[in-house]
Structure 1
Amino acid sequence: MSDFVSQAEFARQMGWAKSYVTKLKQEGRLCLSVDGKVDVEASKRLIIQTGGSDRPDVAERFANERGQQPADEVPEKLSEWGGPSKADSAAKKEHFAALQAEADYRVRIGELVEAKEVAAAVADVSISFRHALENLPARVAGELIGKDLDQIRSTLKQEIYAALSEMERSFAEKLTEIAPEVA
């Protein structure tokens, strides 16, 4: 027993544009009832049997790429048509909705942070650290004049330590901003 549906419903079930179903109708590739309803299973068989008549080589190549059966082996059931079933689609949709809900929950409890927030925090701290190192020669050059090698090393070491400490403080501050529960 076949199902009869409207052309719009047939297009929706198959994942096609309504205009494509209209084209199939105009080409005589749909099985229609007296009231214009589409016989789903019979139409699918007819579409497969009449597919690619202009360019059989192209139709065969596309069928192979989709993993479908050749036109002479007409599927008997909807699940053999080549696409996911409604149940498969619904399960996939529910699966991804559950993953999204889990991600939202993990963000709310502080286990997960948006990548763009982390990238922005790292960029801010990196820029500050770079500026501190670039300004180091201008800040300490005057202090180094007339000092021996050990004093120069000690001064540079103190300045580098101060820059690294500031970077560490900035990272802790940014971490507290984007993930207060972690800090």
Structure 2
Amino acid sequence: MTAPETVTRTEFALRMGFKPSYVTQLVKDGRLVLTPDGRRVLVAESVARIEATRDPSKKAVADRHAAARRAGQGGEPSPDTPEDEAPPIADHDYQNARAKREHFAALREQLRYREEAGELMVASEVEGTLADILTVLRNRLETWPDTLAPQLAPVIEEQQVRARLADEVEIALNDVARRFSEVGK
């Protein structure tokens, strides 16, 4: 007698010896192949996908359960215990965890590359350098009344005062620009 091509989720759980909640988890994890309407399970495809996505770290548990069933030593799992199920780990999905680990490893490598290429800098170093630059600029601006007042007091023409102030602003801005260019090096 051949197995039907599709079965309900409950029938699949019974046939495979899984808990119904485990079948629900398989659906959630994308490890169960359903018919287009999502109501029935494609048996052969689902078994193949479960095998393909099986967590290799749980193989010893599956082997131990299978050996207990063969030996008939009361280690027979109940019909709602899958043979490859280890103690439950909250929302553990081996393939998703592996994909996330590889994704973040790739991001770390990308960051290292961008640092070596000079595109990225360590934030704390940049903050320290920026604080130094702003401190120098503030000090320069705070000294202007003491240094410029004596120079500008005898000047009568407004145009000369403006030119002298513009020169001091330009000197300060050039100093800041030079310090910023040193940050990238």
What TM-score results when the alignment is normalised by the length of structure 1? Answer: 0.50
Q: Could you say which residue in structure 1 is the equivalent of 2:179?
A: 170
Q: How many Å apart are 1:43 and its aligned residue?
A: 6.0
Q: Could you say which residue in structure 2 is the equivalent of 1:106?
A: 114
Q: Which amino acid aligns with 2:105?
A: A
- Higher-Rg member (1/2): 2
Q: How many Å apart are 1:82 and its aligned residue?
A: 7.9
After TM superposition, the structure 1 = structure 2 runs for residues 41-80 of structure 1, keeping only pairs within 5 Å, are: 42=80
Q: Could you say which residue in structure 1 is the equivalent of 2:161?
A: 152
Give distance in 2, aligned partners of 1:141 and 1:99.
Answer: 55
Give distance in 1, aligned partners of 2:79 and 2:135.
Answer: 64
Task: Label 1:2 to 1:107 Cα distance change in 2 as closer, same or farther (>3 A).
Answer: farther
Q: How many Å apart are 1:120 and its aligned residue?
A: 2.3
The higher-RCO structure (CA 8 Å, 6+ apart) is 2
1:118-174 CA distances to partner (integer Å, 9 max, x unpaired)?
222222211111111111111111111121122222221111111111111111222
Question: Which secondary structure does the structure 2 equivalent of 1:112 belong to?
Answer: coil
Runs of 4+ in structure 1 deviating by more than 4 angstroms, as ranges, are none
Q: How many Å apart are 1:106 and its aligned residue?
A: 1.8
RMSD: 3.5
Q: How many Å apart are 1:95 and its aligned residue?
A: 1.1
1:10-31 CA distances to partner (integer Å, 9 max, x unpaired)?
xx98xxxxxxxxxxxxxxxxxx
What TM-score results when the alignment is normalised by the length of structure 2? Answer: 0.50
1:134 paired with 2:137, answer no
